[in-house]
Amino acid sequence: MRKMSKLMLYSLAVVLAFSQMLFGSSLRIAKAEDADQVEDLVIYQNVPEAETVINGGSIQLKALHVYREGHFMLASKNLVWDSANKNVAEVDTNGNVQFTGQNGRTFITVTDGTFKDRIALDYKVKPSSKTEAEKGKPESEAAVIKQEGQRYDVIGNAISKMTLEEKAGQMLMPDFRNWNGKNVTEMLPEIEQLVKKYHLGGVILFRENVVTTEQTARLVSDYQAAAEKFGLLLTIDQEGGIVTRLQSGTDMPGNMALGATRSPEISWNVGNAIGEELASLGINMNFAPVMDVNNNPDNPVIGVRSFGEDPQLVADMGVAYTKGLQAAGVAATAKHFPGHGDTAVDSHLGLPEVPHDKERLKQVELYPFQKGMEAGIDAIMTAHVTFPKIDGTKAISQKTGEEIAIPATLSYKVLTELMREEMGYEGVITTDAMNMKAIADHFGPVDAAIRAVKAGTDIVLMPVGLEEVANGLLDAVKNGEISEDRIEASVKRILTLKVKRGVIKEETPASVEEKVANALKVVGSAEHKQIEKEAAEKSITLVKNDAALPLNNDDQVVVVGNTFVNDLGSAIKERHENTTIISTTNYKLSEAQLDQIKNASAVVVGSYTFSVAGRSPSSAQMLMVNQIIGMTDAPVIGVGIRNPYDIMAYPEIDAYLTQYGFRPSSFEATAGALLGEFSPTGKLPITIPDLNGGVLYQFGHGLTY
CATH class of 540-697: alpha beta
pLDDT in tens, 60-105: 999 999 999 999 999 999 999 999 999 999 999 999 999 999 999 9
- CA-based nearest residue to 354, from 303, 400, 318, 390: 390
Q: Annotated catalytic, 546? A: no
The pLDDT score that the predictor gives to residue 104 is: 97
pLDDT in tens, 14-60: 333 434 333 333 323 333 344 359 999 999 999 999 999 999 899 99
pLDDT in tens, 398-412: 888 988 889 999 999
Spatial distance between the Cα atoms of 210 and 125, rounded to a whole number of angstroms: 48
Q: Are 560 and 597 in contact (CB under 8 A)?
A: yes
Does 2.60.40.1080 match the CATH number of domain 38-151?
yes
Q: Write down the catalytic residue from 310, 432, 567, 654.
A: 432
Q: Annotated catalytic, 432? A: yes
CATH level 2 (architecture), domain 338-357+366-464: Alpha-Beta Barrel (3.20)
Average pLDDT over residues 291-295: 93
Going edge to edge, which strands form the sheet with 233-236?
Answer: 202-204, 233-236, 285-286
Q: What is the pTM of this model?
A: 0.92
The pLDDT score that the predictor gives to residue 137 is: 73
| Residue 472 pLDDT greater than 80, yes or no | yes
**Residue 545 belongs to what H/E stretch?**
strand 541-545
DSSP label at residue 152: G
Q: Return the HEC string of 287-348.
A: CCCECCCCCCCCCCCCHHHCCCCCHHHHHHHHHHHHHHHHHCCCECEEEEECCCCCCCCCCC
Q: Write down the catalytic residue from 348, 441, 447, 555.
A: 348
CA dihedral 156, 159, 160, 165 (to 10 degrees): -170
Q: What percent of the chain has pLDDT over 70?
A: 92
Residue spans of the domains in the chain: they are 38-151, 338-357+366-464, 540-697
Q: At 386, is the pLDDT very low, low, confident or very high (cuts 50, 70, 90)?
A: confident
Q: Do domains 38-151 and 540-697 have the same CATH topology?
A: no
Average pLDDT over residues 376-392: 91
pLDDT in tens, 627-666: 999 999 999 999 999 999 999 999 999 999 999 999 999 9
pLDDT in tens, 150-167: 999 999 999 999 999 999
